[in-house]
């Protein structure tokens, strides 16, 4: 078989002639790169990497970067196989880095992110578990140390891959201008996140209300905080909201919360009986604390009712305040029905100062009954 046909130049790229054999080699290597990149994005590879207890977000980032790096590697190999020499050690245009240094930079950055993540997990799940510190403080320490490891690791990687920090002076100045304008909010949120972790006005597991959002704190991240509502919806709140806005923390320092339940009863009701019934409702609820004990206040004599207020303490229902109030209201309605206590409703007295008011009697069937004289 005559192989000279496959070696004849078909096309010319710059000063290099590409034969049919070179073109087939290019297509083969490039196809292999696509297959390898798709393989790294498969669920099987993700499950294998997850065995090393790496966070899901980091796995997604790592597999995406690795698939892109593999695609670049196979593409460069395909170009070399086609007959266009592209040395791995040759600096790339516009940057003083070769392809080998770029790949090394990518791999080392992934390793740094992995070490930062593992450091946080190690501190929070193992080293600080039996330290006697609060879990929220353990989380804050773990997060801060993880951020320090990440920043220091990135600087070390940049220095060892040939990117000297002294050469980034102009870039740092540009970034400073960007922080003053476009990146101002990001920088502000990052600093606010550090303030939250150090001062701890909110911690993991707290029940809070901020900017019209009520829920439990799930995560405190560098730029934002994740709050999970009672509807199981995760709300992402910028960290600056916790610094420049009023924040209601239901469990700050002491998990006990006082609940106030207003109740109106009709005039003429037995006041001592109403008081004992309300106290019985609070005591019978399993979520009510015995200390401080529940109490009842007679708030005022309203226009339509005697207005009482049941006050009960709970350390568990601060995460579900609406449920606790609803349970107490249901129990109050049932207890009042059994005790014969009437819940008040709006009433008005009509006084006729002059004139004549004609009154007609209407039977049960709606037919007007005849009056006297008809």
Q: Write a three-state SS string for the chain.
A: CCCHHHHCEEEEECCEEEEHHHHHHHHHHHHHHHHHHHHHCCHHHHHHHHCCCCCHHHHHHHHHHHHHHHHHHHHHHHHHHHCCCCCCCCCCCCCCCCHHHHHHHHHHHHHHHHHHHHHHHHHHHHHCCCCCCCHHHHHHHHHHHHHHHHHHHHHHHHHHCCCCHHHHHHHHHHHHHHHHCCCHHHHHHHHHHHHHHHHCCCCCCCEEEECCEEEEEEEECCCEEEEECCCCCEEEEECCHHHHCCEEECCCCCCCEEEEEEEEECCCCCHHHHHHHHHHHHHHCCCCCCCCCCEEEEEEECCCCEEEEEEEEECCHHHCHHHHHHHHHHHHHHHHHHHCCCECCCCCCCCCCCCCCCCCCECCCCCECCCCCC
- The pLDDT assigned to 334 comes to 94
State the number of CA atoms in the 13 A half-sphere of 67 facing the CB.
Answer: 17
* Burial class of 48 by CB neighbour count within 10 A (0 to 12, 13 to 18, 19+): exposed
Residue 214 has pLDDT above 60, yes or no: yes
- In angstroms, the CA 29 to CA 18 distance is 15
Confidence grade of residue 24 (pLDDT, cut at 50, 70, 90): confident
41 band by pLDDT with thresholds 50, 70 and 90: confident
Asked whether residue 150 carries a pLDDT value surpassing 70, the answer given is yes
Distance (Å, rounded) from C-alpha 197 to C-alpha 334?
47
Residues 327-364: tens digit of each pLDDT: 999 999 999 999 999 988 877 777 777 767 676 666 66
- CB count in 10 Å sphere of residue 62: 22
Residue 196's pLDDT is 84
pLDDT at 365 over 70: no
Which tokens belong to 343? 């819940």
Structural contact between residues 41 and 67, judged by C-beta atoms closer than 8 angstroms: yes
Give CA–CA dist 59/67, Å, rounded. Answer: 12
pLDDT at 361: 67
- Burial of 37: CB neighbours in 10 Å, binned 0-12, 13-18, 19+: buried
pLDDT digits over 269-315, tens only?
999 999 999 999 999 999 999 999 999 999 999 888 999 999 999 98
pLDDT in tens, 95-123: 566 667 777 787 788 888 888 888 888 88
Task: Average the pLDDT over each of 5-9, 80-84, 288-292, 314-318 and give the range with the smallest value.
Answer: 5-9
pLDDT at 6 over 60: no
Identify the band that residue 171 occupies on the pLDDT scale cut at 50, 70 and 90. Answer: low
Note the pLDDT of residue 195. Answer: 83
Tell me how far apart the alpha carbons of residues 82 and 176 are, in angstroms, rounded to a whole number. 45
* Helix axes of 321-339 and 271-284: crossing angle, nearest 10 degrees: 140
Is the pLDDT higher at 6 or at 148? 148
Average pLDDT of the residues of the chain: 80
Sheet of 224-228: strand order equals: 234-238, 224-228, 213-220, 207-210, 247-249
Distance CA 369, CA 366 (A): 9
Residues 117/55, Cβ–Cβ less than 8 Å: yes
């Amino acid at each position: 078989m005559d192989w000279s046909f496959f070696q004849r130049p078909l096309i010319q790229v710059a000063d290099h002639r590409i034969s049919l054999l070179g073109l087939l080699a290019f297509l083969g290597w490039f196809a292999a790169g696509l297959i390898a990149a798709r393989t790294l994005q498969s669920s099987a590879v993700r499950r294998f990497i997850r065995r090393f207890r790496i966070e899901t977000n980091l796995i997604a980032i790592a597999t995406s970067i690795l698939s892109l790096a593999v695609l670049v590697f196979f593409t460069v190999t395909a170009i070399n196989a086609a007959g266009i020499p592209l040395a791995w050690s040759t600096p790339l245009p516009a940057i003083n880095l070769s392809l080998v240094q770029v790949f090394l930079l990518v791999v080392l950055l992934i390793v740094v992110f992995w070490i930062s993540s593992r450091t946080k997990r190690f501190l929070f799940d193992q080293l600080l578990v039996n330290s006697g510190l609060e879990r929220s403080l353990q989380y804050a320490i773990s997060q801060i140390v993880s951020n320090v490891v990440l920043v220091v690791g990135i600087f070390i990687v940049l220095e060892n891959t040939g990117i000297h920090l002294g050469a980034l002076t102009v870039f740092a100045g540009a970034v400073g201008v960007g922080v003053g304008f476009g990146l101002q909010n990001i920088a502000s949120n990052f600093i606010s996140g550090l303030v939250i972790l150090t001062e701890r006005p909110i911690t993991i597991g707290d029940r809070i209300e901020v900017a019209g959002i009520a829920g439990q704190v799930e995560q405190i991240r560098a730029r934002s905080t994740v709050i999970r509502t009672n509807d199981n919806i995760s709300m992402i709140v910028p960290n600056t909201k916790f610094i420049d806005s009023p924040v209601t923390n239901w469990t700050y320092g002491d998990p006990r919360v006082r609940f106030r339940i207003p109740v109106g009863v009709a005039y003429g009701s037995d006041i001592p009986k109403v008081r004992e019934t309300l106290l019985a409702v609070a005591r019978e609820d399993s979520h009510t604390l015995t200390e401080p004990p529940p109490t009842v206040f007679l708030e005022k004599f309203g226009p339509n009712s005697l207005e009482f207020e049941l006050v009960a303490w709970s350390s568990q229902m601060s995460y579900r305040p609406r449920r606790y109030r609803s349970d107490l209201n249901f129990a109050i309605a049932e207890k009042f029905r059994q005790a014969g206590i009437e819940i008040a409703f709006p009433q008005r007295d009509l006084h006729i100062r002059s004139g004549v008011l004609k009154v007609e009697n209407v039977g049960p069937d709606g037919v007007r009954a005849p009056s006297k004289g008809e």
